[in-house]
Amino acid sequence: MLNVDYKISHISLMADDEQRMRSFYRDMLGLVEKQQSSSQFSYAFTHQDQPFLTLSFSGQKTAQQRQGLYHFALLFPNKASLASLIERLILAEYPLGSGDHDVSEAFYLNDPNGNGIELYHDRQQTLWQWDQGLVKMGTKAVDVLALLQAKEAGWSGFPVGIMIGHLHFVGDNVRRGDTFFIDQLQMSLTAKIAGSAHFYSHNAYHHHHAYNTWFGSDLTQRRPDENGLVNWTVTIDEKLFKILNQSLHDQNLSTKPNQIWLADPFGSRLVINKDYSPSD
């Protein structure tokens, strides 16, 4: 596995149902909203953070399930801060699912447009179990009462250190995921669920990305005017950028020297930015 700086920094979604969507992200989750244009709004975790999410309200509902984003996952810095938001959502009776995945404890919900969102915290990496390059990630019930007991304060907004932990995509063939994430982005395969889902990462993380075929093999890509993922952005260090800039030269749609634009296999665009900040 490559030891590099890799950060998922932003996603852009086409959306509709503006009133309910804005209320969900601004009021229910407590994100900081900023209007970018008459139909576009951005969202940051705190007033000090750059936006991580942009919603463009010119989309149309899809008539059927499409390839694209399965969920975006917000990684909390600790169990206590996650517990505060989960308590808020439970008290608001917002529909939630959950799963203890050995490496993490996760909760799942959908926004009013049906975009999946995961809220999770990682267990200590010393507790993760690896076997022949693959990490153990199961699914069992979360002990919700024990998690809520870790809460230290009521929900007052997102904590310092919150970030997009991973993006999970849905498509029609896991081999397309392998080609894109392993062959093109130089990631490592870290887990598999039979032949229906593969997980990928840098730096021996459990996964930065996943690709599943859980909606069937005849899934089609979204049309440009339909709701869903438009583009997603990652920021990487100079070492990895140099590797990808050379290997992806013929596929790079960008004319900017410090960016790589790729058409991904699920109908959206990946923007890769070179980060000038020094690595830790």
- Residue keyed to tokens 């890799």: 6
45 phi/psi in degrees, rounded to 5: -70, -45
Q: For residue 270, what are its two tokens? A: 């990946």
pLDDT at residue 70 in the model:
98
- pLDDT tens sequence for the chain (280 residues): 678 999 999 999 999 999 999 999 999 999 999 999 999 999 999 999 999 999 999 999 988 899 999 999 999 999 999 999 999 999 999 999 999 999 999 999 999 999 999 999 999 999 999 999 999 999 999 999 999 999 999 999 999 999 999 999 999 999 999 999 999 999 999 999 988 999 999 999 999 999 999 999 899 999 999 999 999 999 999 999 999 999 999 999 999 999 999 999 999 999 999 985 544 3
Q: In the prediction, which pLDDT does 2 show? A: 72
**pTM to 2 decimal places:** 0.96
Task: For tokens 């130089």, name the residue.
Answer: 186
Residue 278, pLDDT score: 46
Determine the pLDDT at residue 277: 57
Which helix (H) or strand (E) is 156 found in, with range? Answer: none
Given this model, what pLDDT does residue 3 score? 84
Is residue 199 within 8 A of residue 191, CB to CB? The reply is: yes
Query: Residue 74 class from Cβ within 10 Å (0-12 exposed, 13-18 middle, 19+ buried)?
Result: buried
pLDDT of residue 279: 41
